[in-house]
Structure 1
Amino acid sequence: MPVPDMFRIKICGLTDFENAIAVAHSGADAIGLNFFPGSKRRVDIDIAEKIANFVRGEVQIVGLFVNATEGDIRQTHQRIGFDWIQLHGDESREFAETIYEELHIPIMVASRGSLSRWENSPGSFQPHAFLMDAAVQGAFGGTGQLTDWKLAATWQGVPEVTRFVLAGGLHPKNIAEAIQAVRPSAVDVAGGVEFSGKPGIKDMAKVEAFVSAAQGAFAQIKTS
C-alpha cells in the first residue's frame, strides 16, 4: 500500500467539531485526534467520527495513541478511518509492525528527545515517519515544553529517519525559526495555538498565524 505524501503542517489535539472544521480550512495539511485517556486533549470518539467524516479528503487524519492495545487501535480505526497512526508512548518496534501489517496505514513513531529507545527495540520494522517531542519526565507530550532543536537537527543524519516531524513548544512566533534551524519534513502543534486554559480548543488567529509562518518558512528552505 503506497504511503501518502507527507503532510507539512499538523494541528493536533482537536476536541470540538466546529473548531476542528475551522482548523481544517486554515491551510493545515493534517489534524491529529488524540485517544490517550490520560490526555487533557482526548477527543470523544463520537465527535472524532463526526470530524473525520466532514474533513476526509481535505486534510490527512492522524490518530494518536499512547500504549493502547492492538484491539483498541483497530476498533478506533474502523470507526474513524485514519490516514496515519501516531504511536506516542513506549510502543516497541514489533508492536508498530503488527499495527502496520494489520491496518496497512503509515506509522509515525514519537520519541521524546532521543532515538535510543527505538534503536534498541528488537526487530527491523522502519516507521514511515518519526516525531520528536520534548523530553519531560512522566509525560507523553502535550506539555508545551520546547524540544531541543540542536538535538533534533542531528536526526537528519540518521538513515532510518526518512521523514521527521518536529513538535514540542512550537507557536506562531517561533515556528519559522524552528523550521530554519531544524529543517524537518513537517511540524506538529497543539497547545501553542490554543486559547489559554482551554486545552483542545484552538484559537483560530493563532492557527492561521502559525500556518502562514510555517508555509513561508518551508517555502524558503525549499529554495535555499
Structure 2
Amino acid sequence: MKVKICGITNIEDALYAVECGADALGFVFYKNSKRYIKPEKAKEIISHLPPFVFSVGVFVNENPEKVNMIASETKLNAVQLHGDEDLTYLAKINYPIIKAFGVNENFDWNVLSKYECNILLDTYSNNYGGSGEKFDWNLIPNEIRNRIILSGGIDVNSLSMIVNEIKPAAIDLSSSLEQMPGKKDHNKIKIFFEEFKNHWR
C-alpha cells in the first residue's frame, strides 16, 4: 500500500514526509485552495526530492493545455483531477492521470468502469478538493477496493480498517497531518508512519 501526502507547500515538509516513508507528494495548483502552491515553487521542491518519490499535481477544471504545461515545467509524474473533468478532457492530458470522485450514498459506481486511469475516492463535497471528512468506506464495492486510492478523513485511528478491510492500492492524506492549511505537523507525520508500519507488518 502506497502513501501520498498532499498539500505540500514547502521543502521542509516535503523532505520530512519522504524521510518518514511517503511514496508520493501532492502539490495543489488550484488557486482557490488554502494549500495552493505556485508552479515555480513546486518545481524547486520537486528538484530536491530523491529518486523514486512520485510527484503529483492537483488540478480542478483547469485548461488541459495549462495542465500539460505545468506538469512539464515542474517535472510532475502524474496529474490528479478533482473537478468535473470528463473523458474528452482526460484524452487531452499527456501525463498519467488520477481522477478523483466524491462519494456519498447516492454515488453511481458504474461510472468508474468508463475510466481506465487511476481512481481516487474521496468524500463528496459541494466544494472542489478534499473535505478532510470520511465517507462510509463500506460502500466501496469489494471488487475494486484493491485498485483504488482512498482519501478523506484518514488518520492513525482509521488505519486498522484500511489495512484489514479495505486494502486499497494507496492512501492519500493532507489535512489530518497539518498544523494549519499548507503547513504540516511533523510530529503527526512521524506518529502516522510509525503506526502505518506497525499495521502493515
Q: One fold, TM greater than 0.5? A: yes
Name the TM-score, length of structure 1 as normaliser: 0.80
Give yes or no for contact 2:146–2:168 (8 Å, CA) kept in 1: no
Partner of 1:151: 139
Partner of 1:40: 34
Question: C-alpha separation between the residues in 1 aligned to 2:157 and 2:120?
Answer: 21
1:190 equivalent to 2:174? Answer yes
* Residue-by-residue CA offset, 1:33-69 (whole Å, 9 max, x unaligned): 1101111111122210111101051411011111111
1:139 equivalent to 2:123? Answer no
Question: C-alpha separation between the residues in 2 aligned to 1:57 and 1:215?
Answer: 21
1:167 equivalent to 2:157? Answer no
Q: Deviation at 1:98?
A: 2.1
**What is the CA RMSD across the aligned residues, in angstroms?**
2.2
Give yes or no for contact 1:15–1:43 (8 Å, CA) kept in 2: yes
Match of 1:79 among 47, 65, 73: 73
Question: C-alpha separation between the residues in 1 aligned to 2:109 and 2:89?
Answer: 14
May I ask how many residue pairs the two structures share in their alignment? Answer: 199
Partner of 1:216: 198
1:179 equivalent to 2:163? Answer yes
Question: C-alpha separation between the residues in 1 aligned to 2:47 and 2:199?
Answer: 31
Question: C-alpha separation between the residues in 1 aligned to 2:110 and 2:45?
Answer: 32
Q: Which runs of 5+ in 1 are unaligned?
A: 1-6, 220-224
DSSP 3-state at the match of 2:31? coil
Q: Which runs of 5+ in 2 are unaligned?
A: none
Q: Aligned AA for 2:89? A: F
1:199 equivalent to 2:178? Answer no
Q: Percent identity?
A: 29
Question: C-alpha separation between the residues in 2 aligned to 1:94 and 1:66?
Answer: 15
Partner of 1:51: 45
DSSP 3-state at the match of 1:174? helix
Name the TM-score, length of structure 2 as normaliser: 0.89
Question: C-alpha separation between the residues in 2 aligned to 1:212 and 1:98?
Answer: 40
Q: Which runs of 4+ in 1 moved over 6 A?
A: none
